[in-house]
Structure 1
Amino acid sequence: MSIRVGLRHVTEYRYDRLVNLGPQIVRLRPAPHCRTPVRSYSLEIDPKQHFINWQQDPHGNFQARLVFDEPTDVFRIGVDLVADLTVINPFDFFIEEGAEEFPFEYDPELKKTLQPFLECLPPTPLYKSYLRSIDLSPRRSVDFVVDVNQRLQRDISYVIRLEPGVQTPEETLDKGKGSCRDSAWLAVQLLRSVGLAARFVSGYLIQLVPDQKPLEGPEGPAKDFTDLHAWAEVFIPGAGWIGLDPTSGLLTGEGHIPLAATPFPQSAAPISGAVDECEVEFGFDMEVTRIHEDPRVTKPYSESQWTQIDTLGHKVDDWLKSNDVRLTMGGEP
């Protein structure tokens, strides 16, 4: 059973005069490894007079390269998609025998392929201290990455940070707080520092009001919600890329729709490109709408729905009777 939703995302740049836009790269299409079924997708660009070339970057992510041949005072990107939020079990995998226990070593050939995702930043004082505090004792690999993810959720307070860019791990540890992208980048670096390949992911997060409030823990959103989000993915042989969301401390699920997964945050930016020097007003709008819901254990048919179903059943019975439609049975006695 799933919930079908529609997501609408509009980003707008308004300039104080006519400007020339350089080539713009838009990374707002669900990535090939997205596990949430996406039923439809559209990208709308303003100015209408433009050239668009859909590409895949070196890491397989979809990106639209836009070229404009006339000056403009507005640049608007609109995304519409329809997705089926079917429950995903994040532990639905079998790890290869040699990687079941942490620490482990990647096969030499695989390690060459994963090299960009193993590159670490130069160590800094707070980072080295935090790394030393992580329990590296042998245990199941899944347990280890879950422990790191949950620890970051406890240690780094989430804040909405409107400034551009991503904090260094040292900055995030010093402040003890950061945006989702700051926590994700810190998680990537920690995992790489202990020999695990990790990558930075930008994407959409869809959170729906739960059918029932949990008996304990966070209650979830008060209303259906969507936003741009960031998380980390770690590569474990047999399981592939496993999504870790250090903002929540959970593994990624059906509400996480990846747009770009790359070795570094800069190459996963939703929109990038050059523009003439000018003053600019930036705005965006995001909304998620429920299109269809199947009945489920936590939200069965309501009394009024059952009444409608019962009424329809009686109408069908009356129609069959009025047309003398009968059931017969034949065959050998």
Structure 2
Amino acid sequence: MAIRISLRHTTEYAYEKPVRLSPQLVRLRPAPHTRTPLHQYSLKVSPENHFVNWQQDPFGNHVARLVFAEPTSRFEIDVSVTADLVTINPFDFFIEDIAQTCPFQYPAQLRKELAPYFETTDGGSLLDDWVATVDAAGAPTVDFLVALNQRLERDIGYVIRMEPGVQKPEETLRLGKGSCRDSGWLLVQILRRLGLAARFVSGYLVQLRPDVESLDGPSGAAEDFTDLHAWTEVFVPGAGWIGLDPTSGLFAGEGHIPLACTPDPVSAAPITGSYLGDPVEGSFHYRNEVTRIHEDPRVTFPYTQAQWSRVMALGKRIDATLDDGDVRLTMGGEPTFVSIDDMDTAQWNTAALGEHKLERATILLRRLAARWAPGGVLHYGQGKWYPGEPLPRWAFGCFWREDGGVVWRDPALLADPDKQRDANAMLAARFTDALASKLGIDVDNAIPGHEDGLYYLWKEGSLPINADVLDSKLRDPLERRRLRRLFDRGLDEVVG
């Protein structure tokens, strides 16, 4: 399920008289490692009489270098991005064994390559004291990063600060507040002092109004919103760069679209440049807009009544076409039961069988029959037989008449799967003869069943030399018991 959005970001500089602009470096193109799927990007610049050279800086970020041939009194940059906001799991990464817990050591070559991201600057007593209170000894790396990010979000209040530049960490800690870029740079310096490679990130943040209000916490943005934002990335072996947003206390997700990631905030500024000549009066304006251009229906944003009407009309036309061709369809369901008090064992996750599966399925079947199918008949039978499994799955069925007529009157005559049964081939033959007589069918049509002797002879022959079916070393216990039982009894015996 995706929501396709159009993001537009306009920046305008106006001067009281024409000025000659120096080369401008623009870092407003999504970085190569952004995880949000992008469909379109455009950069429009005014005045039109300019040259643009797309480059990559030393850190792999896209940079547009603009050169203007003539003086101008207006400089405008218009960025447009079309993206799909699909849910991204921020914890979907792998961590190498050497980095599973903190503190850890980076391999020598990797540490050499990450050297700029270990540089500690802008120190002070407040920062040193804050870092000294952090205890990372033996903590799982992910848990440690989550806790550190959340602590900084609690300690530093968020403010909108229009002054240029980034506060020093000492100033942010002293004030107990800062802009997103202030909190991001503070977290970079904290991580580096804890021995972790970290970098500063400038990017777009997109937040959409949720379909429904949260039941157990903040509901998020009241309206769709986008703006320039800043956060931090930390490098963990195996996972690579992981985004941490200390403004919200969350890991970076689908709404975080990085533009520039650098060791120092000055290299990540969205626009770098000036003008030549004497000072002149000027003004600065910007605008950020996000528009939804397509939404897939979802649980919290279902089809409208008009859409449902079209869906139902199409379904009726398809049904009519199938009826005309005498095409008959059946549909089976395979519900998955999840225990309310035993959610982690294999039987409720991956295993075909389990200690309580049959028991609870039987209880559920009987409760459903009593509620919806009085007078129906319960059938305990064979289900799918998957390749590689020694026995077919069990399958339960409940059959009843829509007119309320009774299908089966005495449930006691039905075999109970919870009780031990002594049925054998002789009883099966007597039942088959009686059923054939009752139905008026020649009893000679009853054919005794045998195991597939050729298959099991092949199975025995395919075992390793040191694996005897009577004390088998087969890994599958069901297969081991079945083979032992068959060879003990003999393949020429009637089994049903």
What TM-score comes out, normalization by structure 2 length?
A: 0.64
Cα distance in 2 for partners of 1:120, 1:230 equals: 19
> Which 10-residue stretch deviates more, 132-141 or 4-13?
132-141
State the superposition RMSD in angstroms.
Answer: 1.7
Deviation track 1:128-183 (CA, whole Å, cap 9, x = no partner) reads 11111222332111111111100010000000000000000000000000000000
Task: Count residues with an aligned counterpart.
Answer: 326
Cα distance in 2, alignment partners of residues 314 and 69 from structure 1: 66
Matched-pair contact (CA < 8 Å) for 2:123–2:169: no
1:252-291 per-residue CA deviation (whole Å, 9 max, x = no partner) reads 0000000000000000000011213221110011110001
Q: Please list the CA deviations of residues 32-86 of structure 1 after superposition, one character each: whole Å capped at 9, or x if unmatched.
A: 0000011000000000000000000000000100000100000000001100011
Counterpart residue number, 2:422: none
Name 2:346's counterpart in structure 1.
none
Structure-2 residue corresponding to 1:299? 301
Q: TM-score, normalised by structure 1?
A: 0.94
SS of corresponding position for 2:131: helix
Q: Deviation at 1:311?
A: 3.3
More strand per residue: 1
Unaligned runs of 5+ in 1: none
1:2 is matched with 2
2:437 corresponding residue in structure 1: none
Structure 2: how far apart are the matches of 1:328 and 1:238? 53
- State the distance in 2 between where 1:143 and 1:36 align: 24
Identify, as 1 or 2, the structure richer in helix: 2
Q: What is the match of residue 291 of structure 2? A: 289
Which amino acid in the other structure matches residue 19 of structure 1? V
Distance 1:258 1:305, change over 3 A: same
Distance 1:316 1:71, change over 3 A: farther
Structure number with greater CO (CA < 8 Å, separation at least 6) is: 1
Looking at structure 2, the residues matched to 274 and 43 of structure 1 have their Cα atoms a distance apart, in angstroms, of 20
The aligned runs of 1:98-117 (5 Å cut-off) are: 98-117=98-117
Asked if residue 14 in structure 1 is aligned to residue 40 in structure 2, the reply is: no
1:78 and 2:90 matched:
no
Distance 1:315 1:222 in 2: 42
The aligned runs of 1:68-147 (5 Å cut-off) are 68-147=68-147
Contact persistence 2:122–2:169 (CA under 8 A): no
Q: Residues 111 and 59 from structure 1, CA distance in 2 versus in 1: closer, same or farther, beyond 3 angstroms?
A: same
Q: Distance between the aligned counterparts of 2:211 and 2:111, measured in 1?
A: 44
1:123 offset after TM fit, Å? 2.7
Aligned counterpart, 2:55:
55
Query: In 2, Cα distance between the equivalents of 1:27 and 1:210?
Result: 30
Distance, in Å, in 2 between the alignment partners of 1:176 and 1:53 is 41
Instruction: Decide which moves more: 120-129 or 296-305.
Output: 296-305
- Separation in 2 of the partners of 1:104 and 1:59? 24
1:41 aligns with 2:26: no
In the aligned structure 2, how far is the partner of 1:122 from the partner of 1:315? 71
Give runs of aligned pairs for residues 1-333 of structure 1, distance below 5 A: 1-276=1-276, 277-314=279-316, 326=325
Letter in 2 for 1:220: G
Aligned counterparts of 1:222 and 1:311: Cα–Cα separation in 2: 36
Q: Shift in Å at residue 328 of structure 1?
A: 7.2
- Between the aligned partners of 2:197 and 2:158, the Cα distance in structure 1 is 24
Larger displacement relative to structure 2 (276-285 or 225-234): 276-285
Larger Rg: 2
Supply the AA of the counterpart residue of 1:166: V
- Distance in 2 between the 1:14 and 1:315 partners? 61
| Whole-angstrom CA distance in 1 between matches of 2:164 and 2:326 | 70
CA distance in 1, matches of 2:28, 2:314: 44
CA distance in 2, matches of 1:13, 1:313: 57
SS of 1:60 mapped into structure 2: coil
Q: Distance in 1 between matches of 2:120 and 2:8?
A: 36
The letter of the residue matching 1:272 is T
Amino acid of the residue matched to residue 103 of structure 2? P
What's the secondary structure of 2:167's corresponding residue? Answer: coil
Aligned to 2:428: none
Letter in 2 for 1:289: T
Residue 308 of structure 1, CA deviation: 2.7
Identity %: 60
